[in-house]
Structure 1
Amino acid sequence: MGPWLDGITGWLTANPSWLGVAIFLVACFECLAILGLIVPGTVIMFAVAVLAGSGALSLGQTLLLGFAGGLLGDLVSYFLGRRFHQNIRRLPGLRNHPEWIGHAELYFQRYGIASLLVGRFIGPLRPMLPMVAGMFDMPFMRFAAVSLLAAAGWSIVYLLPGWATGAAIRLPLPEGFWPQAGIVGAGLAILLGLSIHSSVGGKRYATHLIAGSSLIMLLGLLIGWPYLAHFDQGLMTLVQEHRSAAADPLAVMVTLLGEFRTQVAIATLLIGLLLALRQWRQAAFAVGAILGSALFNTLIKWTDARARPEVLLDPITSYSMPSGHSSGSFAIFMTLAILAGRGQPLSFRLTWLLVGSIPALLIAMSRVYLGVHWPTDVLAGAMLAFCLCAASLTVIQHKEPLQAMPTKVWWIILPSLVALYGFFALHALANAISRYQY
């Protein structure tokens, strides 16, 4: 695959005007039924995203092209299933590999809409689930709504790392940036590896290990941030270099979704509904994770007393580390992801965590984009939330595992939370537009 990939990237480097088309097509093929199982689209997407980040395309253009291509692949797959139904099994490839569609059918029948959202991030399921949804005559508007949401998150997860890598290589970053970035990256990789390994092995101490690893990473950031100045300054430079007037209102809207008032309202609604629906252990878990993150964030922030970046014309006077927006948002969305994953296969539990991290990550990134937090601030906030979520789950599961909530409970909780977030999003959008209309 090496020479073939080198040939593609070499040709695109010499013909950058075709890079946008390449991103669109690769994203489409990666999500297209059957073809997505054959083409190594993930590797190619990272490679073309690196080229895009080197100056050929903006981040917005790259994500939009990936989103549109993935969405087209979903729609074609859906209508293939809708048109041929069970006769789809006679297509070349599926005749010899019935297991390709069999696994997707099993997940779709068991988890319905959730399978489309979560399966988007699981390689073998991604290109097949839209086709299966069409085979089972899922209403198109329902499929389209879920596909829009899934495609948006998927494009960020699959294209942002490559684009950021290309942009970082292009910019003249501080001399010590890459060694320090390597240290941070290695720490995150170890944390992720230990978490997945202990979870895959079904170890009883998995949550203990995740809580302890997150705590060690958090302490490392709290003690070591003065020695990560090149990493912070370099990443801040990279982000500020790509600020645009068009994206500023959106960043303000996203960051307002993570402000204290919004977090309090969402947490109160979630915990209140859990108590009203007699989900006592789930409510206790949510209290420990969300309230614990808020209390420890305040304590650490005043103890560490780190100054904020001097990017704003009117700098914020409160302390910087850890980011309250980051810790609170990760605590809320990780709590929901953990509860959603109860009783499901490991791949779905891990993918729920990935899906839940996307909105929290956007809120955290908006703080760096707007220049009100250093990158290590938002990373410390995330580690604090991971630690408290794992610790709270450990305590709750001391005697017996936390059980999955009934579907009828989710049909009350999710619409309520979406409606409240929607209200705050509209209010935040109005505030953002009013700030930048002049």
Structure 2
Amino acid sequence: MEHAYFQLLHFLTANPSWALAVVVLAAFFEAIAIIGTFVPGSTAMFIAGALVGTGSLNLGWVMACAIGGAIAGDAASYWFGARHKTTIMRLWPFRSHPGLLEAGKTYFEKHGAKSVIFARFIAPVRAIVPVVAGMMGMSRLRFFAVNVLSALLWAPAHILPGVVFGASMELAGAVSFRLVIVVAIFVAIGWMTVKLIGVIVSHARNWTDVSRQRLLYWAKHNPHAIGRIVLRTLDPDNPATGLIVGISLLLLVSGAVFISTLNDVASGNPLVQVDMSVYRFLRSFHASLYDKAIFALSTFGSTLTLSILALFAVIWMAVERRWRTVLYWLIAVVFSQVLILAIQIAASGLSTASVTSSVRAFPSNHVAGAVVIYGFLAFLLARRVGLLSQILVATTTTAILVAVALSGLYSGLFSFSAALGGAALAAIWVFLVALTAVWRHPSNPPPRPLMPLVVLLLIGLAVGAQLDAVQRSAWMNAAKPPAPIVITPAQWTDRVWRTFSCYRSSMEGDRREPITVQWTATADQVRTQLLSRGWVEGTPLSARSVLSLVSPDVTAVDLPALPKLNNGEPSTLVFIRADAAADQRDVLRFWTTDYAVEHQRGGAPTPIWLGSVVHERLRRPTWPFNVLRPDLRIQPMILDQSSASAWRDLQIARSTGCLGVPVTLIASRAG
């Protein structure tokens, strides 16, 4: 995928006219009456800005094309309105949708010439106001003035955020191209969701009403079980109609997520491949300070906290005499845990005893228990408080569940796929109980505005009771990464070196730059040796180094060297070597492993590091960003391959092959 990404960037760099033509057409057609309602011109401007940020397009040309297209589009709509002002009401689509022109007239009469500027940023009237301006006799000179002004404001407002986004993606891509893909997917999903909601609200309201009436008519004339269910669900007099539909949709989504996750686990598909990357990435952050914070988060999902909340929910429902609701919920709790145990046994092929002792079994009963308890409490609270409190309850519940999952992933209690599967399965039971409760009691129960505070107080007391030094120390010791595997030099050179990946991978199985050196030494020894041979430590990303990204005369070696991920673990050591050309450099990154080599002279075992070099070129296709692009050709490693190599005193194996990639083994002497 990364290869295709760079191919696209190279194509746009070599053929910028294609991208600029799209910018002109998108800006033009977005301003054309009716057509502009369906043309995502603003999105096209954002994407063009993102390409500017990655260095594929020139900012000046993109701005000029966007402004020119926007001016031309509004001018065409103005001309159409002036040319057909007496007959426009008889033309399609205005004769079928007279409300469009009426809305435009009302807006124009209210704001006058300023409406041409404002309308650029308001989708419903964006392409109608210029037509109305022509119909209402606005002078050409005055329209042209506000038209140009509106385009000058509109283009930067939509392009510059894209430029910042593209530059951010370029930096993220230097760390992990997968990170770019994940962010891009979330941005795309968010954009599609907003657009989809807008389309549904603006174009499907009438269709929804008609469909609802037809279903109600059918249900009234079909008094069997399905007809009664439809009638009760869609009855406009039912106060819980919207809630029932919403819970049903969430139930379907939860089921789809669980089935998809279960299928990936059963077939070993990409989701499972993420597990090790997530574990190693979080493991790289292990430190006493982080351990203390994560331990505090883990107490939100501890047995004590969940037991207190479950008991509180039972007492609460008993006071309100909601016996069936609490019975259904208790059944859901027990049955979900039994079902999880059955799935664990089936998925692992293990006995009951061995599964219950395996904390990494799929799905996670720990996450599932937290989702069932907190999800049910959130449902109870949401039905008894106002809208603002509902939002706060949903946000707080989500944050707590994320904290519980993060603490388990950080400590290695369960894998990412197990957490996702457990959460989805538990959500199914929560939504089933919620749907049953709403179905039986559609009217909201008596308000309890202070109940969220009571629940928060209980959670706080439960968490505070567990923050003693003894429990924290025990948890932190269990959460520490395992000690490295100590091997002899002979074991390393004979067989262990072959167990390491030949290529860096952002995700398990994805081949990136070749791993061309394995080095056993302390971090200080590696640093000392490289500094003595012309390498310098890479400039870390900071507020000061970020400014170099927009400097007009910076050299490649002065730009920050970002860490990269290898199976989810960021590079610990980063070094830079200047090239003869000021716009090129070599970047050497090292990652830790789970192995250390012992020394016969009694020195402490030294860890084995995996190293990879990337040759980077600085490109300045457009102001304001400096873009570093990797040279995809395989470079010689840090070693001079001649017989007079300066590394002869350290290398212990040379030109060892790993899938066709030469690998050199280096061992620094113990001090």
TM-score, normalised to structure 1, is 0.49
- Bigger share in strand: 2
Compare CA radii of gyration and give the structure with the larger one.
Answer: 2
Instruction: Between the two structures, name the one with larger relative contact order (CA 8 Å, sep ≥ 6).
Output: 1
